[in-house]
Amino acid sequence: MSPELVLAVETSCDETSAAVLRGERELLGHVIFSQDVHRVYGGVVPELASRAHLRTLDAVVAAALREAGVAVREVELIGVTAGPGLVGALLVGVAWAKAAAWALGRPVVGVHHMEAHLFATALEHPDAQPPFVGLLVSGGHTLLLWVPRWGEYHLLGETRDDAAGEAFDKAAKLLGLEYPGGPSIERAAAAGDPTRHPLPRPLLHGGQRPGDADYYAFSFSGLKTALRVRLQQLGGASTEEVPHLAAAFQAAAVEVLARKTLRAVEQTGCRRVVLGGGVANSRALRDELRRRLGAAGELFAPSLRLSTDNAAMIARAARFRYAHDGAAPLELNARASLPLPGLVR
């Protein structure tokens, strides 16, 4: 029997979050505490992230329970992000969840962060169910999946170097834009001409065929390098050129992501695409995917609140994992490079 009330915590990177979920989609309470201190450094500082989780997790959980109108003793299952992520940050959440589970006599489930991103959209869109092509694009991962059913994930392609979100962060830093890079590049690109500074589309060319090693693979390191070289040629990022450079970078990254995803749509014959991860909030990416899918296609994307790291998606994934695998032992540990369960290569 599936638990009715799930309490979940998320501490994989720089957001401390807690959520209370009733059933599959009724989100009773949801709190996200974002750590703005990392903006000073242009990226996440692991030690600062871990310390911030330690300071705030109790208060964040208490706030989520208050919002839900639920006492902690009423919770039937506790879910927690067990990986992947920053191991110090993950350990804060895992230690808290195991202690709470032991004290309350409740089962605990460790959740894979990227599987949870697949479930995020289903919290808002009941039709975002398998079968579908899944594109997970975040600061640490870029995965293209064929998902015939929940718990079975066929890996079509992944990044060979930088993840999409990481590439946007690094590009923004080169351009003197603030962290996180995706939103700041999108804002700057709105006033730019993407054709003014043509940039390459890595691992994307017309001669590729299904079965080729790079047919679905991604690479963003070379795109970042191309941007750096262009900046050197220009003598730096002048105020006048930043919008055009941002537009060129965004157009190149979005075209690669969209065209590879449409290859998966064509090969599987499934015109349903589910987006997940922070980069899923990119309006440029969503618009390009909708354009390429056409009227016969369906694109499901999470809201901003559910595209970033959050505990609501952890709660939904924990509910599935408990029904599928049962509770985790109290020896549950955090793993920075936790493999995706059910992954078929």
CA 146 to CA 158: how far, in whole Å? 12
The pLDDT of residue 43:
81
User: Is the pLDDT at 242 greater than 70, yes or no?
Assistant: yes
Is the bond into 84 cis (omega within 30 degrees of 0)?
yes
User: Is the pLDDT at 1 greater than 80, yes or no?
Assistant: no
- State mean pLDDT over 220-231: 96
The pLDDT of residue 317:
98
The pLDDT of residue 41:
79
- State mean pLDDT over 114-142: 96
Percent of the chain at pLDDT above 70? 100
Q: How many CB atoms lie within 10 A of CB 319?
A: 25
pLDDT class of 115 with cuts at 50, 70, 90: very high
The pLDDT of residue 324:
96
Which residue stretches of 73-127 are H helix?
87-104, 113-124
pLDDT in tens, 19-46: 999 999 999 999 999 988 888 877 889 9
Which residue in the block uniquely carries the two structure tokens 């208060």? 59
Which residue in the block uniquely carries the two structure tokens 């694009």? 137
- State mean pLDDT over 115-141: 96
Q: Are 312 and 306 in contact (CB under 8 A)?
A: yes
CA-wise closest residue to 168 among 245, 250, 236: 250
CA 334 to CA 270: how far, in whole Å? 35
- State mean pLDDT over 12-25: 96
The pLDDT of residue 81:
98
CA 220 to CA 334: how far, in whole Å? 28
Q: What global pTM score does this model have?
A: 0.96
Flag the least confident range among 43-47, 73-77, 165-169, 256-260.
43-47
CA 246 to CA 41: how far, in whole Å? 20
List, in sequence order, every beta strand (DSSP E) within 246-292: 272-276
The pLDDT of residue 206:
85
The pLDDT of residue 237:
87
User: Is the pLDDT at 263 greater than 90, yes or no?
Assistant: yes
User: Is the pLDDT at 113 greater than 90, yes or no?
Assistant: yes
Mean residue pLDDT across the chain: 96
pLDDT in tens, 42-82: 788 999 999 999 999 999 999 999 999 999 999 999 999 99
DSSP string, 157-213: EEBSSS-HHHHHHHHHHHTTPPSSHHHHHHHHHTT--TTSS----TT--TT--TT-T
